[in-house]
Every structure is written in structure tokens, then in C-alpha cells.
Structure 1
């Protein structure tokens, strides 16, 4: 099997399709035949790795070394390199699949060698899917982040109401004119948002399409970015740190301490 083959997991009335050739993004989530994710090569749900959101000026430090990444959202670098690369399908079954890529891939190089793994597990009854991502190295330590960027459809069609978003963050990161957190924490404000929120007890966000479906996004991480400024979709992005956190709150990946994170989507019909 080549990395270009789409992998579809099925259980109950749920189907999850992953495209390892397109940044290992979830191309489709269908519940009872209804698509929940925005379609298109840039959308679905992609992993953000080895950093999340914007990296200020495309630069980060590791000890005394400063590194520069390509400015794909000038003046910043955004969303990591993993979404731009083909991943390798390591194994899969009807309900689980494992994918990997090498951080030093020459097509989108990271300055340190390491391996990223994403595991996708669909519950046997088709009521939830869990994503687990890990970054490991057997060489030099380096700072990193990991998270996910799903594009949930705002409206599921058939003359239905738009999705409603429900969550109770402890704070909202103040966003500067450069679209990066300033370091100041504010009381959460009404949307629309392109903002990072703190949920110290873990990410817990519910999307409700009235009369159709309720979907809960949960993660043990305390950071979530919510982006709902586009008409077509709403993004709820659990991640291991805030935007530019690779500089402001670095988490080191070492040979004895890999970075691992997970996210679960669970749903029920209304």
C-alpha cells in the first residue's frame, strides 16, 4: 500500500477517511451519511506539528541556536510542516490506523531529526473517534508543539440551523495586531473569534447542529483556538500550547521524554 491511498475507518453508521498523502488530514467524517467537515484539499482536519498556529517571524530558539522557518503566512510561519507532507501508513484495520512522517523530510525540513506518529481510533460502536499524536527523537532535544485544526461545517444543509458553540474557558488570550497572544489574559469575550482560550481542566467544547447532531471536542490539553470568522466553517483546535508557544512556553522533546497529545470527538443524534 502506498502513502497515497486514502484510509477509511468504519463502525456503526460512522465513516472517517484519512488522506496520508495530503498531510495526514482527516478528509471526511460522515455520520449516518451526513458530512461534518468542510471539503477541499486545504480543509477537513489536519495535524499541526511541530508547532501550532503562528510562529512569530518564523523564528524559534533552542538554547543558543536560532532557527528560521519559511514564512507561509507573512510575517509569520503557521501551522507546522506536517500538513504539507505525505505521511506513511504504518498499519490499519477497520477501526484504527497509524501514520508516521520524519521531521527531517527534505521537502519541508525541520532542523532536528525526529518521528511524528498519528493514531486514529474509531470506537467500535461508531460513537467517537480519538486522535493521538506523538513526537519523539533519538538525537538532540528541541522545542515543539502539536495539535489539530478541524474545519467543521457551519451548516449541514437541508434547511437546517447553523451550528451553536458552547464552552466555558477560564480566560481568553489577548490578541495583538500581529495576531499573536500578547501574554495578557482577559475575561472571555463574545465572538466572532480567531482567538486562543485557556481551559485548565482540559478542552471541552460542544458543537450543536440543532435538531440533528451534537459533537463534543475534548482533550486533556488546556489550550484551544476557536476560529469562526468564515461563513462556511467553524474551527475548534486543541493544542499543547498557545500560538507562538514554541517561543513563549516551549515544551522540549528529548530522547527520554517525547511529546504526546490526544483529542476525542464524540457525538450523538438529537
Structure 2
């Protein structure tokens, strides 16, 4: 096991100061609060409990610097549409057409996380405990590599008591079929005593570019079932056979957060790198590079094809508890 990273709460003062940013939408239910950043990829900037000692964060909160940079990768969680994670060389073939996404402004060599996280979302209906966010994408012929299918997306982000519920959906507006995947990308506080528990069947091994090579056994599969220390392995991998529930526990603080997903999100990613104090347990509908997967692997990579006018919706819950 690696030496554990220090508690990332060294940034807590910056994060707590950012909670009052006027560009954020504040939602409250009892002692639980959310901050939502529509302009920063429709992201959640913070999810926390208010206490006499200060905020207790269930997701890693955005700092002042992150908000100033408008960087979704430094938010608490952000939506992934119309695909999750990487596409090799930003290219794939679909329905007899070669799709090249390399010029759409995504600065990664392998197109990453779709385009919705790099767009401002429009605010719709809002209450004290919920907000609707909307995004409509129309392909821009002047942008080489722009996602070539028109679609609209919606998020309903809400507090139900202290539970965070996110309803994520999309509709194909194109006059042809569209390959599709979606998910959410939450970051959690990572400490020396953070443990992740989830029932999974196998892991996609990956190359140095974090692109899948083969599906198979790995010690992390068994470790996840029993409770995996966030410091046990160097992970940025997809797991199959996920039972759509994962528990992130901070054992020394006697608190935990349970993520549950509906059948739309049949895949799970764990990102716990050796080099940084980061932890993600991501509910997704498709594995990395699913659009380039061979036909005989399709049942293990997820994703779908939306017909013209067809819609898809999925629901996620994060439930906090103390023990």
C-alpha cells in the first residue's frame, strides 16, 4: 500500500470562501446545502452539511481559484454527455461515417467526457431545494470536429432531505441515429482513511493513455467488494458487473456516502491515482472508448444508439449517513 496523501482539507478555507459566490445557485434542505454552477459545465460546485464547526463536505468542493478559472475538472461533480471518458485519437466510425472530434476545442489527445461539460447550461425551473439545467447542442460547421449530432440535455439537481438526487437526460434532435453515453463525474474528499466498497465482476485494464486493453481479473475487484482503501492501487479504470451501488466511507470520521444508480448507469469508473490526492467513483452508461469497441465486446462496454427524437433518462442518488 502506498503512503496515504494528507487530508485535502488544506484547501478548505478557499473552498468555504467560495460557497458565497454570487454566480452559484444555492439550494438548501435543513442542514444540507448544494452549490450549482450552471456556467461551468452545469456542474455541482459543493455538496455539504452545515455544522457549528463549519461545513462538512460530502464531495470535494470547488475552490475560489477553480471558480475563477471556470474549470469543471475542479468542481465537485460535472455531467458527461454525449459520451463518458476517452475516445481514442478523438475518432470513431459510426453508421458508415468517420467521426473526427479532434478540432472541437477539447484539448486532450483522446477526446474526453463529451462536450456538455465545456458549455454553459441554461437555468430553468428553480425552487429552494431544486434547479433544472438545460443545454442544447447544434453542430457548428465552422468548428472542425464539432459533435455532428444535434441533441438537448437536461439535469434536475435536487435535495430530498439530505439526499442529493440528479436526474440526467438527453434527446436526439438529429434526423439520424446518434451514438450516446452519459454519466456524472463526482470527486470525493480523499484522506488516509477513505474506503470504497462496491460489488463488481471485472476490470478493464488500460494502457498508459488510460484506454482499455482487455477485461479481466484484478486484485482491486476483490478489494472493492470487501472495502478498498483509496490508497491501495493506482487506478483509472472501468469496472463491469457493477451492482449500481457504491459506498465511500471516511472511517475515522464515522461517516459515509452511498451512491446508487438506476439501470441506465451500468458501468463504474474508479479514479484513485498514485500521483494526486484525487478520488472519483463515477456512475456512467459507457466505458472508455466504447464507440471503438469491437462488436464482440459490446455487451461489456455499455452505451447506446438514440434514434431521431428518442430520449433517455437516468437517476442518481447520493445518500449521506453517520455511523
TM-score with structure 1 length normalisation?
A: 0.88
Which one is further off, 44-53 or 178-187? 178-187
Which one is further off, 71-80 or 224-233? 71-80
The match for 1:100 among 118, 130, 134 is 134
Q: Distance in 2 between matches of 1:245 and 1:145?
A: 9
Structure showing the higher strand proportion among its residues: 1
- Paired residue for 1:90? 124
Q: Does 1:258 align with 2:311?
A: yes
- Paired residue for 2:6? none
- Paired residue for 2:200? 169
Q: Does 1:227 align with 2:271?
A: yes
- Paired residue for 2:109? 75
Give unmatched runs, 5+ long, in structure 2. Answer: 1-21, 221-231
The match for 1:48 among 64, 68, 80 is 80
Question: Aligned residues, how many?
Answer: 259
The Cα of 1:109 is off from its aligned counterpart by: 3.7
Helix, strand or coil for the counterpart of 2:83? coil
Residue deviations 1:226-254, cap 9 Å, x none? 00115432101110011111332451112
Q: Distance in 2 between matches of 1:65 and 1:191?
A: 39
Q: Distance in 2 between matches of 1:188 and 1:180?
A: 19
- Paired residue for 1:150? 186
Q: Distance in 1 between matches of 2:208 and 2:107?
A: 14
Task: Answer yes or no: is the 8 Å Cα contact 1:148–1:237 preserved in 2.
Answer: yes
Q: Distance in 2 between matches of 1:256 and 1:85?
A: 22
Task: Answer yes or no: is the 8 Å Cα contact 1:170–1:188 preserved in 2.
Answer: no
Q: Which structure 2 residues correspond to residues 107-122 of structure 1 after superposition, within 5 A? A: 109-122=146-159
Helix, strand or coil for the counterpart of 1:52? coil
- Paired residue for 1:130? 165
TM-score with structure 2 length normalisation?
A: 0.74
The match for 1:217 among 241, 253, 259 is 259
Q: Distance in 2 between matches of 1:88 and 1:188?
A: 43
Give unmatched runs, 5+ long, in structure 1. Answer: 156-160
Structure 1 runs of 4+ off > 6 angstroms? Answer: none
The Cα of 1:119 is off from its aligned counterpart by: 1.1
Q: Distance in 2 between matches of 1:97 and 1:90?
A: 7
Residue deviations 1:34-63, cap 9 Å, x none? 123142333220111111000111012220
State the structure with more CA Rg.
2
CA distance change for structure 1 residues 61 and 103 in 2, over 3 Å: closer, same or farther? Answer: farther
Task: Answer yes or no: is the 8 Å Cα contact 1:240–1:261 preserved in 2.
Answer: no
Q: Distance in 2 between matches of 1:9 and 1:246?
A: 37
The Cα of 1:261 is off from its aligned counterpart by: 2.1
Residue deviations 1:156-185, cap 9 Å, x none? xxxxx5321112211111213432112433
Residue deviations 1:182-222, cap 9 Å, x none? 24332453623111101353x21111112242101111222
